[in-house]
Amino acid sequence: MQTWPGSSYPLGATFDGNGTNFALFSEGAERVELCLFGDRGKETRIEVREVDAFVWHVYLPQVRPGQRYGYRVHGENDPATGARFNPNKLLLDPYAKAVDGQVKWGQPVFGYTFGDPDSRNDEDSASSMMTGVVVNPFFDWAGDRQPKTPYSESFIYEAHVKGLTETHPGIPEEIRGTYSAIAHPVIIDHLKKLGVTAIELMPVHQFVNDSTLQEKGLSNYWGYNTIAFLAPQNTYASTGERGQQVEEFKGMVRTLHAAGIEVILDVVYNHTAEGNHMGPTLSMKGVDNVAYYKLEDDDKRYYTDYTGTGNSMNVGNPHTLQLIMDSLRYWVLEMHVDGFRFDLASTLAREFYEVDRLSTFFELVQQDPVVSQVKLIAEPWDIGPGGYQVGNFPPQWTEWNGKYRDTVRDFWRGEPQALGEFASRLTGSADLYEHSGRRPVASVNFVTAHDGFTLRDLVSYNDKHNEANGEDNNDGESHNRSMNFGVEGPTDDPTVNTMRAQQQRNFIATLLLSQGVPMLLHGDELGRTQRGNNNGYAQDNELTWVDWSNVDQPLIEFTAALARLRHDHPTFRRRRFFNGRPVRMEVGQGLPDIAWLRPDGTAMQPEDWDSGFGRAVGVFLNGRGIRERDRRGEPIEDKHFIVLFNAGDDIMDFTIPAVEYSPKWDVLVDTAGDLADSDPHEPGSIVRLHAKSLVVLCEHDLPEPEVDHSVAASLAALAEGSMPGQSPKQEMER
């Protein structure tokens, strides 16, 4: 086969219309072979002779898209020094843009002989390995434009490609569970009905199905087991054609963008599927183990594990950082995604041992002209020392706010001492984010996520029920802050079911009325259940898939209505924190931008927050006190609102506060369903809240006053400076 020297950049396999350039980084390699595979599995090995700055490269003018390939890397094999080179192991290109096949588990893919992790195993792994695929980079984006929805207007929907679409009767069976299914009109219509502005997809980077799970008859459903950071998962493609997953993913993004919906990827750069010293040799472990993985200083046979998965990426190495940054830029520039949610992001801040928010990774993101301009969401924790870092990420980052989740759950189940913190979470968590110059949108608020109970299970189970996972119910979080209302699991008791439905509405209303960025777990608006399993990572079946044949339509309508309320009223999506100071108003007294109310309609006092038994609170939100301007520079104004919360077990009477707030109030939302059609409430009147319910009041629309045309004419003349006998200043004083 004809070979040319090629180029050391870009890394990976790059088709330019005439041929393909191959480039692989390996600092410790002594020799590299590029392996091409024919349709019948025949392997052709090509010696890669050119190497510049530790990048081995070759150009093959004959190679076209669809070509399968891998590498064999020769070098020292001494695990005690971290070197694990073995040319008998076919290696997946860390920069592969598409992957063909799956790993066939067995002795060949391991670098040691079973039972002796310090031994060397030389069985050839080619027949058991997935391979990279040369892809066609050319795609008709048809004028695709990214929505670029501001954070303050965003509503995120966390979803699983397969779980969301696998059972939908409106999607053709042959494309269910795929990228094409996400882009199907029935899914688009559902997202639009909910007011969703961004879909956050659980991992779609090519991942590996764990052998230990397969042995139990399970699989890695969630996908937090990445092996190729630039390749879309091949099992989510609707056809088996090599490289089709790239085209199909791009088509999905193009369709979602046309509907005004952004695409955010849940990405796993903290570890890979190769695990620890007992794990397989699939890619980076055999390409350059020392460069790509963080190893124990005192014995480099072992891997530092901040993630609970066996290994951690070595973000202190410039080539590892380059891989991560190249991957991020690729997904933005070539795949047109709109942002990323970083799994266990604290690990990326560990250059050495402690978490450092000023680590090189964050510096690179800060100065990168591409990556810095998309949505960056951190899961701000890992399992290492000091790994819980909520509120400590750099200014341009947003964070999954785990404290929001815990506080809101505690408040609605009536836990003591939750009132003050609940108020903080409801208003954007200034205590966590304001000190670093960030805004309320730094907080991605959620009550449920993929990891944990679904919303319906949160109000139906006190305990986890993970027996199906095969770990004797020992896996998953045991402290769920849930409440089953007296019965564990499903029941026919109408009283219990009524309270459970009401509590789900409480959570959704709280989420969508809180300052910050709301995130809803897929299926929560439908009443999805996992029958008490709060760790469905291994359940690729009906337990975790959305059941579209059994949906809670009233809950869908309620969620959509609350999302419209949020969309229509900037009071609930402020870009700046409240300050509690009076706002200068054109009419009436200056009112604060926010005021907390006791049930008797008077202002909350310091001792009320610390009482320890408070279950009820009201909040006045000043619609004319937003202190922000729209994109045209016009002041943003809205109506006044009062939101009343009763997390107690008894009916609570709230008194409508003094007249200066508003002359009358309309009930827009009542999660107990009793007040929605009531007449306007006047100051001093009583609003009766049921146990565990929420009510939203909006200032009543007053009829337009009759216009005195003589006065109007005078004002018009004044505006033109033609008022006879008086200057404009004199007239204004008069």
Q: Which residues are catalytic?
A: 343, 379
Q: Is 43 helix (H, G, I), strand (E, B) or coil?
A: strand
Spatial contact of 182 and 164, defined as CB atoms under 8 Å apart: yes
Q: How many of the other CB atoms lie within 10 Å of CB of 230?
A: 27
Query: Which residues on adjacent β-strands are paired with residue 398?
Result: 377
Q: Is 686 helix (H, G, I), strand (E, B) or coil?
A: strand
Q: Which amino acid is at 656?
A: I
Spatial contact of 293 and 314, defined as CB atoms under 8 Å apart: yes
Spatial contact of 670 and 688, defined as CB atoms under 8 Å apart: no
Token match 């020297």: residue?
Answer: 5
Residues 6+ apart with CB under 8 A from 663: 682, 683, 700, 702
In 3-state terms the chain splits into helix, strand, coil percentages (rounded to 5) of: 25, 20, 55
**And the tokens for 417?**
């001492």
Q: How many of the other CB atoms lie within 10 Å of CB of 238?
A: 17
Burial class of residue 587 (count of CB atoms within 10 Å of its CB; 0-12, 13-18, 19+): exposed
Spatial contact of 198 and 256, defined as CB atoms under 8 Å apart: no
Burial class of residue 373 (count of CB atoms within 10 Å of its CB; 0-12, 13-18, 19+): middle
Q: Which amino acid is at 109?
A: V
Encode burial over 691-707: b for 16+ CB neighbours within 10 A, e otherwise. bbbbbbbbbbeeeeeee
Distances from the Cα of 502 to the Cαs of 132, 485, 497, in angstroms? 51, 11, 9
Query: Which residues on adjacent β-strands are paired with residue 681?
Result: 665
